[in-house]
Structure 1
Amino acid sequence: VDIDMVLTGSDGLAAGLANGTWIKILPDFNDKFPKIEDNYEPAALALHKKQGAGYGVVVNYYPSGPLIEYAPERVKEVPGSVEELLAWAKANPGRFIYARPTNSGPGRTFMMGLPYLLGDKDPQDPVDGWEKTWAYLKALDEGIDYYPSGTTVTMKELAEGTRDMIVSTFGWDINPRVLGIVPKEIETFALEGTHWVPDTQFMCIPKGVAEEKVAVLVKLMAFMLEPAQQAYTYDKGYFYPGPAVKGVPLSAAPQESQDAIAEFGRPQYEELIRKFPVEAPLKPEALVAAFEKWDREVGANKMK
């Protein structure tokens, strides 16, 4: 094994679990993570337990999305509901886009958020409980040219003017504007009835890593969960807010992070985060099933 530790999202964790890639970290090394569950933010704890399942340790967290990002000079009337978004996409063919959910945080967040917006039977069961969601995604497909393999392409096409509206998240809104990939003037909105589907990064160890290395790696993981280290997760807004543990205010972050959030963050985000409920993402096996169904039934002929 050439890699000792992996930082991955829900998709990578799920794929690794399906393939038997990861070693079990908890409860095997509980003594190295004292009060870990007490220290996590509530939503981060839910992700840690439901998705991490002992194989992935949550290192950062944010409510994520879904958000819609748009160019205000080209979009004069913003859709308010999920039905209005569909109508807009059909009335403006080729101007709305999102990336393949398997390889896109905003893409999978949008996909997992739709069952709540549409009132589907079981938002946690993409195979038998998403009848309205799959019908909606197929209808939305009529106004979409293609599905890029990653989120960055959608950001660049929005910036270039090829698209007017894309799927986004808090972090994908803030960070590309900090980096200059997307103009500062780009705006965002949340649809009526939104439920946040949070995202996170997990620390995982692949099978085959030597025991003496594993002992060091779990110490490193515990160190990365200390408040002083968690303050770095504010970064330049990529996982806004970022910290997975309690008691880490923005004022504890490096000045560079504070300046980036002050200039490119949006004051309304704190209100939006409080306004809408946070739901658990799909469990790994259900997420894999959703990815496969989307690839097969929605994006099959338009993926690039």
Structure 2
Amino acid sequence: MAGSRITRRIGCIAAALSFSVMATASFADPVSLNIVDVAGNLALTKDGFEAFKAKYPNLVSNITYTNAPAPQLPGKIKAMQGAGRSDIDLVLTGTDALAAGIEQHLWMKLLPDTAKFPSVPGVYSEGARKMLDLAQGYGVEVTYTPAGPLLEYNPDHVKDVPRTADQLLAWCKAHPNKLIYARPANSGPGRAFLMGLPYLLGDKDPKDPDKGWDKTWAFLKQLNECIPYYPGGTSAVMKELGEGSRDMTVTMTGWDINPRALGVVPANFRVGAFDNMTWVNDAHYMVIPKGVPKAKLDVLYKLINFMLEPAQQAMTYDDGYFYPGPAIKGLTDSNAPEKSRVVLEKYGRTEYGGWIAKYPNALPLPADKMVAAFQKWDREIGAQKTK
């Protein structure tokens, strides 16, 4: 009897050990990750993701990167989730697709979870910490910028640079088809302009696009009369500005610096701030669609934490695309990679430090209000002119 019990016990222990080894092996098997970028964020973070893959080959076998338009991604993810598929593991998004995904219940709730993300929110700089709240726990912020709205222009053609919204409208009417901006639902500068106008115009409630933006919607309808069309993204705007078919556009810090560094826009083009402007800040987030397998989730959590470390955050200075870029506190331009420091020294603006210190900051609209603002702009402003 005793021997029989011992034999059975040894058998149970062996089975348990066998299961443990299998479970460990399963967890240790490296996974392939599919990262989709709808914000242009890979320019800032791809080197960091690749550094993670190189450091942890036991966790990640391959990373596939895909770019997609922000307005189309939520519908695609919703269709995949409805079909029980999980083809996308991590999404890099601005506030646009973040908001749409929150509204449609597409993202996993990540925060607050101090066990999985022990450095959040304490790691963030003051401005970035406020932007984290917009994600409502569904995204972990990876990059930050004070953003805009600013005006970028060709100094050879624009001598009377607008300093107020009314002056911008007057300039546009006097120079039809020479001002252009992209559809806000898929453009950081377009969003900053749309959400910054209520502050510039003194609207009743800058946080309520439906009932508090009477002056803003009226202004945009007047501006619409002298704008030729609205491109689907900011890259097309900068191309036209650089080629000379347009003389002015709305911009933000990174979209001013980076296209000039890349040679898309001439280096001598200038940027101006509105009198009494309010910065409408912007950020990029890492979000995980619902339905991602647990074996991948454990790796993704580790990856997200890795991307918040100083070494990877310093990489986000990049070529000024989302200036400054880092979301965590304690970093300055001096921490940037040498290539980034060269770009910022040549194409950065000395004015930015003063403007950032001088003008107040505001958060973008919360998810539901932002979606409502985009829909109203699409319906009432861009419907006949968006390409």
Give the TM-score of the pair, scaled to structure 1.
0.98
Q: Distance in 2 between matches of 1:179 and 1:301?
A: 32
Q: Which consecutive residues of structure 1, in runs of 5 or more, have no partner in the other structure?
A: none
Residue 115 of structure 2 is matched in structure 1 by: 31
- Measure the CA separation in 2 of the matches of 1:2 and 1:8: 17
Quote the offset at 1:71 in angstroms.
Answer: 0.1
Counterpart among 126, 129, 148 of residue 45 in structure 1: 129
Counterpart Cα distance in 2 of 1:86 and 1:30? 49
**Partner in structure 2 of residue 275 of structure 1:** 358
Instruction: Find the residue that maps to 1:32 and give its secondary structure.
Output: coil
Q: Match for 1:38: what amino acid?
A: G
Residue 148 (structure 2) pairs with residue 77 (structure 1) = no
Equivalent-residue separation in structure 2 for 1:46 and 1:118 (angstroms): 24
Q: Distance in 1 between matches of 2:116 and 2:336?
A: 25
Deviations 1:79-119 (A, max 9, x none): 11111111000111111011111111100110000000001
1:124 aligns with 2:210: no
- 8 Å contact kept, 1:65–1:168: yes
How far the C-alpha of 1:32 sits from its partner, in A, is: 2.5
User: C-alpha distance in 1, partners of 2:276/2:381?
Assistant: 24
Partner of 1:213: 296
| Structure 1 counterpart SS, 2:375 | helix
1:5–1:205 Cα contact (<8 Å) kept: yes
What is the match of residue 154 of structure 1? 237
The answer to whether residue 265 in structure 2 is matched with residue 182 in structure 1 is: yes
Task: Give unpaired runs (5+ residues) of structure 2.
Answer: 1-85
Q: Which moved more, 1:30-39 or 1:237-246?
A: 30-39
For 1:303 and 1:111, how far apart are their aligned partners in 2? Answer: 15
Q: CA deviation at 1:260?
A: 0.5
Spell out, residue by residue over 1:223-276, the C-alpha distance to the aligned partner (whole angstroms, 9 max, x if none).
111112110110000010111010011111110001010011011111111110
Point out which structure has higher relative CO (alpha carbons under 8 A, 6+ apart). Answer: 1
* Structure 2 counterpart of 1:9: 94
Counterpart pick for 2:336 among 225, 240, 253: 253
What's the CA shift for 1:37? 1.9
Cα distance in 2 for residues equivalent to 1:142 and 1:193: 26
1:231 is the counterpart of 2:314:
yes
Q: Secondary structure at the match of 1:38?
A: coil
CA drift at 1:34: 2.1
| Cα deviation 1:41-97 (Å, max 9, x = unaligned) | 111111111x11110110010001001000000111111111111100011111101
- Corresponding position of 2:254: 171
The residue type paired with residue 132 of structure 2 is H
Q: In 1, distance between residues paired with 2:351 and 2:287?
A: 34
Look up the equivalent residue of 2:93 and give its one-letter code.
T
Counterpart selection for 1:20 from 105, 110, 115: 105
For residues 293 and 234 of structure 1, the distance between their equivalents in structure 2, rounded to whole angstroms, comes to 34
Matched position secondary structure for 2:316: helix
Question: Are 2:151 and 1:93 aligned?
Answer: no
Percent sequence identity over aligned pairs? 56
Task: Name the aligned partner's letter for residue 92 of structure 1.
Answer: H
Displacement of 1:156 = 1.0
Corresponding position of 2:70: none
Secondary structure of the equivalent of 2:115?
helix
Of 179, 191, 195, the match for 2:274: 191
Contact persistence 1:82–1:192 (CA under 8 A) = no
Give the structure 2 partner of residue 112 of structure 1.
195
Larger Rg: 2
How much does 1:39 deviate?
A: 1.8
- Number of residue pairs the alignment of both structures matches: 302
Aligned residue type for 2:118: P
TM-score by length of 2: 0.77
Q: CA RMSD in A?
A: 0.9
Which secondary structure state, in structure 2, belongs to the residue aligned with residue 30 of structure 1? coil
CA distance in 2, matches of 1:16, 1:79: 36
Residue 140 of structure 1: aligned partner: 223
